[in-house]
Amino acid sequence: MIKRLAKCVREYKLPTILTLIFIVLEAVIESIIPFITSQLVNNIKAGAVLGDIIRTGLLLAGMAIISLCCGGAAGFTSAKASAGFSTNLRHDLFEKIQTYSFSNIDKFSSSSLVTRLTTDVTNVQMSYMMLIRIAVRAPLMLVFSVIMAYVMGGALATTFVIVIPVLAFGLILIARKAMPAFTRVFRKYDKLNESIEENVRAMRVVKGFSREEYEKAKFKTASDDICADFTKAERIVALNAPLMQICIYFNMAVVLIIGSRIVITSGGSTIDIGELSSMLTYGFQILMQLMMLSMIYVILTMSAESAKRISEVLSEVPTIQNPENAVTEVSDGSIEFENVYFAYTIGVRRQTLENVNIRIGSGMTVGILGGTGSGKSSFARLIPRLYDVTSGTVKVGGVDVRDYDITALRSAVSMVLQKNLIFSGTISENLRWGDENATDDEIRAACELAQADGFISSFPDGYETKIEQGGTNVSGGQKQRICIARALLKKPKILILDDSTSAVDTKTDALIRAGFDKYIPDTTRIIVAQRVSSVQNADMIIVMDNGRIESVGKHDELLKSSPIYREIYEQQTRGGDSDEQ
């Protein structure tokens, strides 16, 4: 885990190394100052002349200034190194997520990935800054102070050494008790963020059902739960401060009592007043460094779980990867399923798709019909290799989709998913996701084909109309038509419409399909639909039931041979089209 995170330092190695150098210089100088001060005290006691005192005072002032400059420089370089490290870490996390397949995303959930990219990275950034600065300075100062305390006070300094393992044992015990609570907190953070994300996206539903108070209560419960765990963890961690102070102040009291007795009884021959004062100074330095170490220990304890969660994302192996010597050209839009089995979760007894065999010729229009959970969308998602089959083969253009370069395959397949998503920005910017080099005429032509030009042109700013986050300022049907136009701009060999006209009326739906026949006759069209009217003129209709192909044929054939198709048709024609807007 540490090696994986360390790779994110990269171009910020120099400021990291400079921080360490400045810290070492600062620690050495601060450890020497009390020693020189003790010599000054002893010299004054012995009747030193003013010139010697001034020279020693100037030396101390110069060392203090150098130490201050080193500390300031270390603060600057450590800030640059830690900020750069976190930037690289976020970049690597985001790039890694872009390589994930849908199954990888499903494993972590979007809310958890957002938490890892924000809160967890911030925690690790803070820890990194402390590790290269305070976590280096504190142990050095601690070691130097103990050594100088031995130089100044001899065996009397042993009391400082005794307290360190006692304190270390206490800190380890505290961490073992606190770590489980911190682990629970970060998992609950994911759940809390998921709840917030869900609430914001579904705000219209919340307000439509007047469920604001329920959502507030649900959020308060989750928030209070996190607060309780954090409070428990912080209470445990807070025990390190009194433990440390008891040990150190007890030792300083021992040093003061025994040291004063030695100074008096020996007349200053064993330990003089200068050495005793320096011993107290070094004792205070040891106290301060142990306080710093305890603070670092707390932060590292908290951020250890964050580092682990980040490492999980970076170490995750994408389930879909490019093969060696990948095929980079899709010859045509033919599709073939051979003995395909598929499940979203490995090891489940019930497959989402079972023994699917079908061949679709290039340029055909194919409708896929079936009830909820019949496997229609799963069938469509295997074509551009959004998921890999559990067993069997899916071929596009006569080649197994697993042998294609992923970018080449998906560039040849346009897919409009059930959940239509458009991004913040102008309508034209959203459309150019299909082809960033598309001309205004090409954009308008695609929108005319998708029956979107009419409503876009009615906006005051036309194609430069700003889309709000999530597309909340356009209707569901308008959003679907923008997404269809965006898919058409890719000029695909295969176009998949996964229930993507459910929010438009049947007349507009018919106009869109008629446009397909006229303008993209060579493109294979896969239309996943709930309405028979959307697929009844297709060259082939696939009826699915419980993950299997129940029957295949044209509209008239299926009315005679398929009970499922006939039942759907009769329900919709008898009761009207329930999806019509």
580 domain-assigned: no
Please name which of 89, 84, 79 lies closest in space to residue 116, comparing C-alpha atoms: 89
Residues 197 and 253 both lie in one domain: yes
Q: Grade residue 284 by pLDDT with cuts at 50, 70 and 90.
A: confident
Alpha helices in 389-452 (DSSP H): 406-411, 427-431, 440-449
Residues 470 and 341 both lie in one domain: yes
For the ranges 120-129, 263-272, 439-448, the lowest mean pLDDT is seen at: 263-272
CATH code at position 47? 1.20.1560.10
Residues 309 and 430 both lie in one domain: no
State the average pLDDT over residues 258-271.
70
Transcribe 337-351 into DSSP letters. Answer: EEEEEE-SSTT-SS-
pLDDT higher than threshold 60 for residue 45? yes
130 domain-assigned: yes
Q: What is the pLDDT, as a whole number, of residue 91?
A: 93
For the ranges 47-56, 139-148, 538-547, 563-572, the lowest mean pLDDT is seen at: 47-56
Question: Cα–Cα distance between 376 and 410 in angstroms, integer?
Answer: 19
Residues 90 and 196 both lie in one domain: yes
76 domain-assigned: yes
CATH code at position 494? 3.40.50.300
pLDDT higher than threshold 90 for residue 359? yes
Q: What is the pLDDT, as a whole number, of residue 41?
A: 74
Question: Cα–Cα distance between 347 and 491 in angstroms, integer?
Answer: 38
Residues 178 and 240 both lie in one domain: yes
Residue type, 320: I
Q: Grade residue 404 by pLDDT with cuts at 50, 70 and 90.
A: very high
Residue 136: how many other CB atoms lie within 10 Å: 20
479 domain-assigned: yes
Question: Cα–Cα distance between 66 and 25 in angstroms, integer?
Answer: 9
- Which residue(s) pair with 541 in the sheet? 367, 553
Q: What is the pLDDT, as a whole number, of residue 577?
A: 45
Residues 446 and 568 both lie in one domain: yes
Residues 432 and 566 both lie in one domain: yes
Residues 555 and 492 both lie in one domain: yes
Instruction: Write out pLDDT tens, residues 483-494.
Output: 889 988 888 999
Residues 236 and 294 both lie in one domain: yes
Please identify, among 268, 287, 315, the residue that sits at the C-terminal boundary of a domain: 315
pLDDT higher than threshold 70 for residue 581? no
For the ranges 28-42, 363-377, 430-444, 553-567, the lowest mean pLDDT is seen at: 28-42
For the ranges 88-102, 443-457, 508-522, the lowest mean pLDDT is seen at: 508-522
Please identify, among 252, 287, 315, the residue that sits at the C-terminal boundary of a domain: 315
Residues 221 and 265 both lie in one domain: yes
Q: Which residue has the higher pLDDT, 426 or 219?
A: 426
322 domain-assigned: no
Residues 342 and 447 both lie in one domain: yes
Q: Which two tokens stand for residue 102?
A: 């849908």
Q: Which two tokens stand for residue 76?
A: 């600057």
Q: Which residues in 50-196 belong to E strands, given as ranges? A: none
464 domain-assigned: yes
373 domain-assigned: yes
Please identify, among 315, 347, 377, the residue that sits at the C-terminal boundary of a domain: 315
Question: Cα–Cα distance between 52 and 334 in angstroms, integer?
Answer: 96
Question: Cα–Cα distance between 115 and 97 in angstroms, integer?
Answer: 13
Residue 227 lies in domain = 2-315
Count of the separate structural domains present in the chain:
2
Instruction: Write out pLDDT tens, residues 103-131.
Output: 888 888 777 888 888 888 988 998 898 88
148 domain-assigned: yes
Q: Which two tokens stand for residue 384?
A: 């551009």
Residues 341 and 241 both lie in one domain: no
Which residue is listed with tokens 């459309």?
431
For the ranges 119-128, 241-250, 329-338, the lowest mean pLDDT is seen at: 241-250
